[in-house]
């Protein structure tokens, strides 16, 4: 299942609107393996808040602020009920899917990824995706109030759910109930979810024939943009932008990899540009990477940080 996260919005003047998200990952597997038959994981702004599995029948909380919310808010009862209900439903659904695929045995996986997103300007979105055995199966389209069948076996379920107006329930759950939970989480502990930490950025290259890597880490919130410039012009070719990953301390990291020939690197200036809302001061860092001299310059205009990397030949 692949969900394209809308974690960054850039307006006309280049500012960044942070997006808060509440995501759930439900997974069901056929009996007989070493894995629990059902597991559920919840994340707030990319940070794991809690998990559940069918073996323990308990919700395990992962962060201190989630413990506070759990003890103080009754709405957790609704989330816990949603999880435990799906513990049972997932097993029945997995059996039904095996029949649709004419399968009588073997190891099979049913996944459901769903949640909601809320921008600082009040914009909200919801998403819901189902996968079977690692492939997309059914996707909810909230714009058309329909389900998109990814394979022929998902067509009967698509028709059944649309005729039963299940999409109406899903819309209400994602855009109202889920958003309500998310607003509460964000407002409950501003010191955790609304803290702002600027990224630490490094640009490195193992040797003259290796790709150039721009790595930003330790930043919060999750919204960040990394781009490259060649001689002052935006560069989109030969760029591999990796997904944003969590760090153990609750911050995030992201990298962008630029593949160049030694000749291109020698004859041009390449700039790594990092945008994050918490960049507020000028930082100058010089470092030696192997046989390559690199300079990192952070220039700030508003909340835009620019990291400049140049290869200095003969030095």
Task: List own/partner pairs for 5-12 with CB under 8 A and 24 or more apart.
Answer: 5/117, 6/117, 6/125, 7/117, 7/222, 7/223, 7/244, 8/223, 8/224, 8/225, 9/119, 9/123, 10/225, 10/275
- Residue 301, Cα to own-chain centre: how many angstroms? 27
- Answer whether residue 10 shows pLDDT above 80: no
Specify the pLDDT at position 189. Answer: 57
DSSP H helical ranges for the chain: 64-72, 75-100, 155-163, 166-172, 178-188, 190-193, 262-267
Residue spans in the chain of domains classed CATH 2.60.40.10: 200-309
Question: Can you give the pTM of this predicted structure?
Answer: 0.61
Tell me the per-residue pLDDT of 21-37, one tens digit each, with 9 for 90 and over.
999 999 999 988 888 99
Q: How far apart are CA 100 and CA 32, in angstroms?
A: 21
What does the mean pLDDT of the chain come to?
A: 77
Only one residue has tokens 């076996």, namely: 153
Q: How far apart are CA 173 and CA 180, in angstroms?
A: 9
How sure is the predictor about 184, in pLDDT bands with cuts at 50, 70 and 90?
confident
> What's the token pair of residue 58?
């308990």
Q: Residue 126 pairs with which residues in a beta bridge?
A: 116
Specify the pLDDT at position 130. Answer: 95
Residue spans in the chain of domains classed CATH 3.30.500.10: 9-193
Among 104-113, 147-156, 182-191, 276-285, name the one with the lowest average pLDDT: 276-285
**Contact, 236 vs 222, CB < 8 A?**
no
Specify the DSSP class assigned to residue 198.
P
Which is higher by pLDDT, 209 or 40? 40
Per CATH, the architecture of 200-309 is what? Sandwich (2.60)
Specify the pLDDT at position 190. Answer: 58
Query: What value, to the nearest 5°, has the Cα angle with vertex 7 and ends 9 and 303?
Result: 55
Q: How far apart are CA 305 and CA 207, in angstroms?
A: 26
User: What share of the chain has pLDDT > 70, as a percent?
Assistant: 74
> CATH homologous superfamily of domain 9-193?
MHC class I-like antigen recognition-like (3.30.500.10)
Cα dihedral sign, 148-152-153-156: positive
Specify the pLDDT at position 205. Answer: 86
Specify the pLDDT at position 89. Answer: 85
Specify the pLDDT at position 18. Answer: 60
- Answer whether residue 235 shows pLDDT above 50: yes
**Contact, 70 vs 42, CB < 8 A?**
no
User: What share of the chain has pLDDT > 90, as a percent?
Assistant: 31
Tell me the per-residue pLDDT of 290-304, one tens digit each, with 9 for 90 and over.
333 333 333 333 334
């Amino acid at each position: 299942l692949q969900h394209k996260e809308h974690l960054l919005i850039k307006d006309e003047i280049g500012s960044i609107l942070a997006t808060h998200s509440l995501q759930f990952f439900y997974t069901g597997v056929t009996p007989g393996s070493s894995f629990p038959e059902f597991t559920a994981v919840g994340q707030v702004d990319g940070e794991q808040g809690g998990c559940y599995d069918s073996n323990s029948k308990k919700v395990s909380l992962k962060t201190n602020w989630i413990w506070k919310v759990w003890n103080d808010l009754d709405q957790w009862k609704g989330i816990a009920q949603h999880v435990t209900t799906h513990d049972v439903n997932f097993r029945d659904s997995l059996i039904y899917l095996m029949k649709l695929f004419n399968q009588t045995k073997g190891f099979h996986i049913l996944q459901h990824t769903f949640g909601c997103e809320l921008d600082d300007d009040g914009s909200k979105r919801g998403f819901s995706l189902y996968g079977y055995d690692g492939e997309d199966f059914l996707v909810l389209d909230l714009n058309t109030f329909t389900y998109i069948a990814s394979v022929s076996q998902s067509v009967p379920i698509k028709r059944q759910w649309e005729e039963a107006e299940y999409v109406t329930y899903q819309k209400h759950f994602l855009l109202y109930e889920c958003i309500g939970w998310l607003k509460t989480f964000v407002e409950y502990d501003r010191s955790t979810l609304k803290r702002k930490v600027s990224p630490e950025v490094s640009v490195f290259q193992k040797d003259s024939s290796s790709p150039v890597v721009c790595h930003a880490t330790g930043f919060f919130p999750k919204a960040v943009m990394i781009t490259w410039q060649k001689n002052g012009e935006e560069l989109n070719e030969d760029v591999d932008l990796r997904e944003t990953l969590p760090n153990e301390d609750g911050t995030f990291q992201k990298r962008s990899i630029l593949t160049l020939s030694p000749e291109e690197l020698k004859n041009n200036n390449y700039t790594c540009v990092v945008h994050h809302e918490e960049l507020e001061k000028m930082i100058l860092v010089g470092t030696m990477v192997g046989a390559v001299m690199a300079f990192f310059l952070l220039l700030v205009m508003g909340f835009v940080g620019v990291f400049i990397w140049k290869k200095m030949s003969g030095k």
